[in-house]
Every structure is written in C-alpha cells, then in structure tokens.
C-alpha cells in the first residue's frame, strides 16, 4: 500500500498550531509534486503548502477551518486513484458532525500527538536531556522554542515551557476564551492537573447559576450589529497584549524631543538615497537606526526574563509594529545595529510587505529583542505602549509638529515630538531606563552623533 502522508508543516520555531483555511484540491483530484494543496494560517501569516509527491489526493483528514497541532497528518496521497486506504491507521481522522464532535476529535488528536511525541521529537533539533525531560513531562517539543545553537532545544527551554505554558488542552483554552473563564480559576482533572474542556464548562455553569440575571434591554439597544469571533491573529493579539500588561511591572516614561535636526537629516537622506533605494527613506528607518545604537550602548535594555534569570542579549533585533488587515503585526529587522541604512531599510520594507500580504514566514515576525510603535501618522502625541513579551521594553513614538520653543532665551519655531518608553520594572529600574531614553533623545536631536 503506497500511501504518502501530507503533514501540517511547522513554519518557524514559534509555530505550534495551524488552521487550514482552504483546500485547493478535493478528494480524488490528481496532484503534482510542488502543486499547492491547501493554505494554512498560523498566528501570524497565511501560507501555501505544496504536495510532497505526485499522485491522487485520496483522503482529507483535517477539514478547513479547524486548528490542529503542527507535524500531524492532514491528508493522504496515493499513486493510484482507486487504491485501497482502509488499512491506514497512522493518523487520527476527523469527521465533522457537529461542534461537540469536532471538539472531541480535536482533543483526541492533541492527545495522540502527545502520546506519540517520539515521532515529532525525531524531526526537531534537541538535546538528549531536553528529550528526556519532555518525555517525562508529556511535552510536545514541537511547541517549544529553542535557545541553543542554531535554535536547538535544550533542557532549560523545556523547563521554561513547563513554567510558562498553561496546563490546559487547546480545546479547553478555546472554550475558556469564548466563555470568558479565567483558566487560573479552573481546577484541572486531566493527567498532571491538566485542564480539560469539561473543567471549563463546569466553571462556566457555576458562574451562570450564581449570577443574577439582569433585566432585558429594550429591543432598540439589545440588538447586536455584528459578532466577530476572537480567533486567529486577533486572539493572539489579545493574549499577548493581556500578558504584556498583566505579567510585567510596566512603567512608562515620556519625554519631549526637539526633532528639528532629525527632520532635516531625513530630508537630506531621502534626496540623496532615493535613486539607490528606489523609495523614500522614512522616519521609522532613522528611528530604528537610533534605537539599535542605543540598545548596543545600554545592553540592559536589550534583555528578557527567563524564570528568575535576566538574559542580556548579544543580538539587536528591532521590530516595528505595523497595522495590517489581519491585525497588529511586528516585522523584525535582525542585527539592526550592524547593518547599513540602505540594507536594513530595504529589509524592513520587504518584511512589512510580506506581513501586509499575509505571506510572511513566522520567523519574519518573531525573535525581536525590542519593539518600536509609531502612531504619529494618526496625529497622536503621546500614549502608553504595551510591552511585547518577552522583551524588556517598547518605545512609543508620537507625531512630529511645529511649535514655539524657548532656545537660548528666545522663542523660535522648532519641530518636536514625544517619546513614550514602557519598560518592565522587574528587569530595569527607573533611572537606567531614563538614561536610555535620554540617549535616544540625544541621538534624535543631534543625529550626526550616529557617525561617532
């Protein structure tokens, strides 16, 4: 029996689950090697998945619209159109009947992936100690980010995952999000105290029984105009923003900056580099360059917290928050402090374009060590940005506008803008964070210092 499994790919170190958004081939269709079979959506992007071989798409195991763990079979391809596949038993099948049936199938599939983690682990670069601990704790290494050389998963990565990951099945997490149930209030009945779907439903039932029913609103005010499910990218944004606010000790410092020389430099570079680049250099390009320089000089701001240990990072990877049709995404420019203006400006536009088109690889949108968010184009002066975990801080940038300023005892017109630095007080104290922001201010006001 010549059966080829089509696997839901792991598109980057941070991807643990994916949702098949559309099957472009149907059961029985002939397929060629390299032909697109389906599209898959991760938390960050929608990508096309190609056929691994030539043959016929005999069976679709996972329908469109359902979230599944990566590295599991989602379809079967055979050499012959009428080949018997009744003996195939390697992967669980999902039969869509009603919502409870789908949820039970998803839970069973997740359980099976955990029980057969040996198969997944063989495809993942990990140390023997990490694999041993993962087997003992029932951890799927496909969900763990590696911090070792070349992304290798080491023992401390598994320990960090166990400490930070919620002990709940994916189905229980989705039910909790839909029902507004805090998983911290749920007692798990599964193996090792893992929270199951039934545990969440029981808590929701208790809340419903104890709540006092409010008086119904008049028809004119109770009608809902639309309902938007909290899923995909929107759900990821919600989780990350909540975590960035609730799991840190956030403090925001604001500072007004004279941006007159900053604006002048941008105008000169825009004219000088337009032919070379093929586009106009923007304020964000200069800001990334300035922030990357400051991060290199103040390494305690280029850090993250791992358990009880603060790690000062050697690499400076700066992310820029970008508004897209799919929600807020953060494309990353890696090694921003080591690249010339033209190189990283070009790279920044490439990752932004892929993010907005929904074709960015997960690694394009992960691994940042610091984030910049600029709302100046929306006429915002100052705001309180939320830390993009696991980073230590985030810089908010307001609009540039002309205003009268006292310089050497005289009133003169200058270009000014506000900076808002939110930092995690667990990692950095107020005075060091203020010095870092002062350095950014200095480099904006005297940008020629970038040449020093």
pLDDT in tens, 351-383: 999 888 878 877 788 889 999 999 999 999 999
Average pLDDT over residues 171-179: 67
84 and 144 belong to one structural domain: no
The answer to the question of residue 216 being in a domain is: no
Q: Bridge partners of 46?
A: 41
Residue 1's pLDDT is what?
52
What's the domain range around 16?
3-114
The answer to the question of residue 258 being in a domain is: yes
CATH number of the structural domain spanning residue 39: 2.40.50.100
- What stretches of 231-290 adopt beta strand conformation (E)? 250-258
Report the catalytic residues.
425
288 and 417 belong to one structural domain: yes
* pLDDT band per the 50, 70, 90 thresholds, residue 296: very high
- The domain total for the chain is 3
65 and 85 belong to one structural domain: yes
89: Cβ–Cβ under 8 A, 6 or more apart, which residues?
Answer: none
The answer to the question of residue 104 being in a domain is: yes
Structure tokens, 442 = 């200095």
Which tops the pLDDT comparison, 68 or 103?
68
In this predicted structure, the answer to whether residue 146 has a pLDDT above a threshold of 80 is: no
- Residue 369, class by beta-carbon neighbours within 10 Å (0-12 exposed, 13-18 middle, 19+ buried)? buried
287 and 404 belong to one structural domain: yes
Residue 299's pLDDT is what?
96
pLDDT over 90, % of the chain: 41
Average pLDDT over residues 421-433: 96
**Nearest to 163, CA basis, from 188, 196, 139:** 139
165 and 310 belong to one structural domain: no
| Whole-prediction pTM | 0.57
285 and 268 belong to one structural domain: yes
State CA 255 to chain mean position distance: 29
In this predicted structure, the answer to whether residue 156 has a pLDDT above a threshold of 90 is: no
In this predicted structure, the answer to whether residue 284 has a pLDDT above a threshold of 90 is: yes
Structure tokens, 265 = 């430099």
State CA 207 to chain mean position distance: 32
CATH number of the structural domain spanning residue 366: 3.30.559.10
97 and 166 belong to one structural domain: no
Which tops the pLDDT comparison, 369 or 136?
369
The answer to the question of residue 217 being in a domain is: no
291 and 405 belong to one structural domain: yes
Distance CA 362, CA 373 (A): 20
279 and 424 belong to one structural domain: yes
337 and 440 belong to one structural domain: yes
The answer to the question of residue 73 being in a domain is: yes
The answer to the question of residue 227 being in a domain is: no
Distance CA 402, CA 130 (A): 57
Residue 101's pLDDT is what?
37
The answer to the question of residue 166 being in a domain is: yes
Average pLDDT over residues 396-400: 96
pLDDT in tens, 18-76: 888 889 999 999 999 888 899 887 765 677 888 888 999 999 999 988 888 888 899 99
The answer to the question of residue 223 being in a domain is: no
Residue 121's pLDDT is what?
34
Average pLDDT over residues 331-360: 91
């Amino acid at each position: 029996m010549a059966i080829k499994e089509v696997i839901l790919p792991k598109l980057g170190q941070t991807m643990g689950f994916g949702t098949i958004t559309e099957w472009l081939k149907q059961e029985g269709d002939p397929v060629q090697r390299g032909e697109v079979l389906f599209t898959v959506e991760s938390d960050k992007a929608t990508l096309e998945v190609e056929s691994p071989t030539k043959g016929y798409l005999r069976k679709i195991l996972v329908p469109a619209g359902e979230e599944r763990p990566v590295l599991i079979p989602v379809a079967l391809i055979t050499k012959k159109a009428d080949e018997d596949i009744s003996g195939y038993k390697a992967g669980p099948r999902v039969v869509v009947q009603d919502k409870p049936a789908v949820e039970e199938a998803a839970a069973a599939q997740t359980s099976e992936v955990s029980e057969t983690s040996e198969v997944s682990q063989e495809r993942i670069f990990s140390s023997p100690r990490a694999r041993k601990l993962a087997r003992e704790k029932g951890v799927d290494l496909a969900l763990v980010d590696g911090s070792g050389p070349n992304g290798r998963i080491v023992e401390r990565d598994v320990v960090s995952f166990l400490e930070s990951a919620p002990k709940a099945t994916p189905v229980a997490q989705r039910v909790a999000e839909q029902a507004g149930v805090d998983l911290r209030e749920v007692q798990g009945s599964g193996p090792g105290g893992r929270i199951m779907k039934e545990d969440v439903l029981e808590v929701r039932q208790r809340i419903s029984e104890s709540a006092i029913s409010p008086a119904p609103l008049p028809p004119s005010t109770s009608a809902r105009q639309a309902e938007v499910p909290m899923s995909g990218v929107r759900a990821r944004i919600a989780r990350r923003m909540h975590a960035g606010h609730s799991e840190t000790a956030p403090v925001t410092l604001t500072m007004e900056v004279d941006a007159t020389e900053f604006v002048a430099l941008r105008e000169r570079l825009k004219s000088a580099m337009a032919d070379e680049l093929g586009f106009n250099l923007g304020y964000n390009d200069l800001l990334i360059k300035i922030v990357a320089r400051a991060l290199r000089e103040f390494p305690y701001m280029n850090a993250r917290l791992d358990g009880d240990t603060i790690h000062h990072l050697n690499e400076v990877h700066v992310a820029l928050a970008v508004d897209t049709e799919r929600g807020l995404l953060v494309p990353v420019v890696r090694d921003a402090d080591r690249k010339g203006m033209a190189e990283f400006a070009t790279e920044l536009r490439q990752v932004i374009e892929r993010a907005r088109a929904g074709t960015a690889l997960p690694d394009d949108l992960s691994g940042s060590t610091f984030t910049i968010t600029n709302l100046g184009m929306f006429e915002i002066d100052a705001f309180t940005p939320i830390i993009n975990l696991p980073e230590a801080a985030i810089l908010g940038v307001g609009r540039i506008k002309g205003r009268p300023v006292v310089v050497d005892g005289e009133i003169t017109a200058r270009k000014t803008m506000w900076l808002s630095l939110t930092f995690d007080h667990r990692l950095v104290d107020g005075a060091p964070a203020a010095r870092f922001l002062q350095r950014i201010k200095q480099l904006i006001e005297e940008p020629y210092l970038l040449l020093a």
